[in-house]
Copies of this chain bind each other. A is one copy, B any other.
């Protein structure tokens, strides 16, 4: 079992939570999802992806305050690095960053 942060890991998951400025404005939600899907469909490096929204939180420990979540898996750390620099990624940020107030990112190497 590998629990060493410094070891090279073959699989990597990038998790992002977005808080939109106007989470109840349907046009903003739509514009965000359309731009994000266009980007993910065009990415050469994203392996799997999942776009989500919070259910009604039922337990105190659950943070249901975000507007959208994004999970992207990669088959290598290098692919994640390339994804960060892809033109389609930068286009998504250009198109959609005015829609959000706050972004929190957690990256994970497989244990």
Chain A positions within 8 Å of B, measured between CB atoms, are 1, 3-6, 8-13, 15, 17, 26, 29-30, 33-34, 47-48, 50-57, 59, 61-64, 66, 68-69, 71, 73, 77, 84, 103-111
Contacts and interface: CB of A to CB of B under 8 A. Distances in A.
A40 B1 CA distance: 15
B103 A61 contact: yes
20 contacts: A1-B10, A3-B29, A4-B48, A5-B48, A5-B54, A8-B73, A10-B50, A13-B50, A15-B15, A50-B110, A52-B109, A53-B109, A54-B107, A55-B107, A55-B108, A59-B84, A61-B104, A62-B106, A66-B106, A71-B71
B54 A110 contact: no
